[in-house]
Amino acid sequence: MTDISIQDTDVLVLGGGPAGTWAALHAARNGARVVLADKAYCGTSGAAAASNNNVWYIPNPAVHEAEFAARFASGGGLSEPGWTAALLEGAIEQLHLLAKLGYPFPKTETGDINYATLRGPDYMRFMRLQIRRAGVQILDHSPMLGLLQQDGRVVGAHGVSRDGSRWQVNAFATVLATGGCAFMSGALGTNVNTGDGHLAAGEAGARFSGMEFSNQYGLAASHSSVTKGLPFVWSTYTREDGTVVPVTDDEPFVSVARVLIDEPVFAVFDRANANIQRWLRSGQANAFLPFDRMGIDPFTQRFPVGLRLEGTVRGTGGIRLCARDCATDVPGLYAAGDAASRETVVGGRTGGGSPNSAWAIVTGSWAGAAASEFAKRQGTRIVARRDDVALSPVEPSRELIRQHVWSMRTNLFRSAAVLTPAVNLLDDAWRETPADAAQLAEARSARAMLYVARLAYRSALQRKESRALHQRSDHPGRSDAMRHRLVVGGLDSFEFSADAVAT
Ligand SMILES: Cc1cc2nc3c(=O)[nH]c(=O)nc-3n(C[C@H](O)[C@H](O)[C@H](O)COP(=O)(O)OP(=O)(O)OC[C@H]3O[C@@H](n4cnc5c(N)ncnc54)[C@H](O)[C@@H]3O)c2cc1C
């Protein structure tokens, strides 16, 4: 029989990236007993820990309206001023708290604190230290497999530990902060982001929003996983014969993809002057490691580029939040960070990185505070039975994802003609069960990726227009009738509804 450890807590946080650690910190500061479970090692795992995060930190509230207007336009008119204002105010408050807690922010040239830059590795190490100091119990290398549910409420979760033993945490409130889904494309830090939280939330009855906007790709040297986009701002793209590839789309990666589908594309950061080169090298050190290791000077020598699917990590869809306390459609379940839909602040396109990390910090803080308040209001503890979780065959599911979800032909240049056969194959795979359950966590993640892909493609078929990241060649224009957020729920089949955009 498999060993199982069972414990009770007030708040359970699933995922230990920025969203999860901020949720845990605020729940603990509000007096809750908190357990945090991470699939890998909290402090080094996830999209932020591996990279630099520029943060949407706009200290002057007078320009918040202009910030909203810019994102509203680039995101296809689906974001809301109320959410944006609350997010920008929340980011100021939490970043100032981070400084008060002692995080060594870099300084600007004038000697002021540069709140807009977080260095992923030391930021996340710092967050781990803070939550431990606040009394949070951390379960590392302990992927969540499923949520516990009783009478329509989420009452904790269960998972597996590195030694193969099982764990169960009974909680009054649960925060899902398992990140987005990048479909194991290898983009820096994202191979843990397989949509496990999405699947568990969907099984519990949560709904999703904006899943059609989950086709973000990151530019990288073809030999590298580092999809840091900033240096590419100064890039010239060429074909093999040296002809320039013009950037004619809102997103440069889309212009590159148009050519890359059929032939190699090369880049060189030749538009960066000496000052910018110095600044890029000091601020984005890890972006240059792959070049240094290969002996390439990317400012003078061209190199082949590739695109890696970042899915909902830098796309915008995810679990639908019902209110600013980050409650989902299911009582007792909260969501934060990339796991939650960011549409209310950026619509159908992130349009440059920084809102993502602000979203993770602020929604994490809101979710942690709200979950701990919810926990205080509960009386008798409900202990639910742990059901077996549904699994999918590991390698066949991954292969299908590689073929039909990484594919720019299907996922980027969309039409019913390419999406329909792909989603039918994903549906067929969804009905398959693995021959044995030996690779429990992997088989669960394989199923989660199939689930997120099906949500994304079904939503893409449902939105019969082109808006922001979602571009359909069979519906090229924008439709006024679709100026709403698309909400989807279900498992074997899906139901759609619409959320109006508040002004
Ligand atoms: C290369 C790159 C550069 C980026 N640069 C920027 C930037 O400059 N500015 C910006 O705003 N944003 C940036 N982003 C996006 C930003 O990193 C993310 O928005 C942010 O990390 C989201 O935080 P999170 O906590 O929601 O997810 P993550 O940081 O991905 O953390 C998710 C955590 O959940 C854990 N987890 C997953 N599944 C399970 C499970 N089953 N059980 C338990 N735990 C689980 C993972 O191990 C991980 O620790 C970048 C992303 C990438 C990939």
Q: Domain check: are 297 and 342 in the same one?
A: no
Same domain, 146 and 229: no
What is the domain extent for residue 168? 4-213+315-377
313 CA distance to ligand 1 middle (Å): 7
Q: For atom 48 of ligand 1, which residue has the closest CA?
A: 46
- What pLDDT sits at residue 250? 87
Which residue has a Cα nearest atom 51 of ligand 1?
Answer: 47
25 CA to middle of ligand 1, Å?
17
Beta bridge partners of 454: none
Q: Are residues 222 and 356 in the same domain?
A: no
Same domain, 225 and 173: no
**CA-to-CA distance for 282 and 295, rounded, in angstroms?**
18
Segment 321-340 shows an average pLDDT of 98
CA distance 159 to 149: 14
pLDDT band at 2 (very low <50, low <70, confident <90, very high): low
> What is the mean pLDDT of the segment spanning 356-375?
98
Whether residues 71 and 112 fall in one domain: yes
Helices (H), 316-439: 343-346, 355-377, 394-404, 408-411, 416-430
pLDDT at residue 185 is higher than 60: yes
Please report the atom of ligand 1 found closest to the CA of residue 49.
29
Nearest residue (CA) to ligand 1, atom 3: 228
DSSP-derived pairing of the beta strands 494-499 and 485-490:
antiparallel
CA 125 to ligand 1 center in whole angstroms: 14
Distance CA 331, CA 321 (A): 12
Same domain assignment for residues 168 and 128:
yes
Same domain, 140 and 287: no
User: Per-residue pLDDT for 1 more than 60?
Assistant: no
Ligand 1 pocket, Cβ-based, cut-off 6 angstroms:
14-20, 37-40, 45-48, 51-54, 143-144, 177-179, 187-190, 192-193, 196, 227-228, 310, 313-314, 337-339, 353-354, 356-357, 360
- Give the count of domains, the chain: 3
Q: Are 247 and 168 in a shared domain?
A: no
Report how far ligand 1's centroid is from the alpha carbon of 314 (Å).
Answer: 9
Q: State the average pLDDT over residues 165-188.
A: 97
Q: Locate 160 and state its tokens.
A: 């597996």
- 48 Cα: distance to centroid of ligand 1 (angstroms): 5
**Which CATH number fits the domain that encloses residue 265?**
3.90.700
**pLDDT surpassing 80 at residue 351:** no
pLDDT at position 139 is: 98
Q: How far apart are CA 61 and CA 58, in angstroms?
A: 7
Identify whether 64 is part of a domain: yes
Which of 188, 357, 452 has most ligand 1 atoms within 8 Å of CB, for mutation?
357
Count the Cβ atoms, other than its own, within 10 Å of residue 6: 13
Domain end point (choices 309, 330, 348)? 309
Here the CATH number for the domain that contains residue 426 is 1.20.58.100
Query: Alpha carbon of 338 to those of 31, 54, 216, 396, 482: distances in Å?
Result: 26, 15, 13, 26, 24
pLDDT at res. 353: 66
Helix then strand then coil, % of the chain, to nearest 5:
40, 20, 40
Q: What are phi and psi of 169, to 5 degrees?
A: -120, 120
Q: Which atom of ligand 1 is nearest to the CA of 336?
A: 26
Looking at the domain assignment, is residue 498 inside a domain? Answer: no
Instruction: Using the 3D structure, point to which of 323, 352, 377 is the last residue of a domain.
Output: 377
Nearest-atom number in ligand 1 for the CA of 448 is 41
Residue nearest to atom 21 of ligand 1 (CA): 48
| Structure confidence at residue 328 (pLDDT) | 98
Mutate-to-test residue for ligand 1 from 25, 26, 45, 123, highest number of ligand atoms within 8 A of CB: 45
Statement to judge: residues 343 and 370 lie in one domain: yes
Residue 170: which residues within 8 A CB-CB, separation 6 or more? 6, 7, 8, 9, 148, 155, 156, 381, 382, 383, 384
Lowest-confidence range among 23-32, 195-204, 362-371, 377-386? Answer: 377-386
Distance 45 CA to ligand 1 centre (A): 8
Assign 384 a pLDDT band (cuts: 50, 70, 90): confident
Residue where a domain terminates, one of 309, 336, 354 = 309
> Around Cβ 387, how many Cβ atoms within 10 Å?
12
Atom of ligand 1 nearest to the CA of 444: 41
Together in a domain, 27 and 150: yes
178 in the same domain as 35? yes
Residues 292 and 355 in one domain: no
* Res 104 pLDDT > 80: yes
Long-range contacts of 421-424 (CB under 8 A, 24+ apart): 422/457, 423/453, 423/454, 423/457, 423/458, 423/461
In degrees rounded to 5, what are phi and psi of residue 307? -125, 130
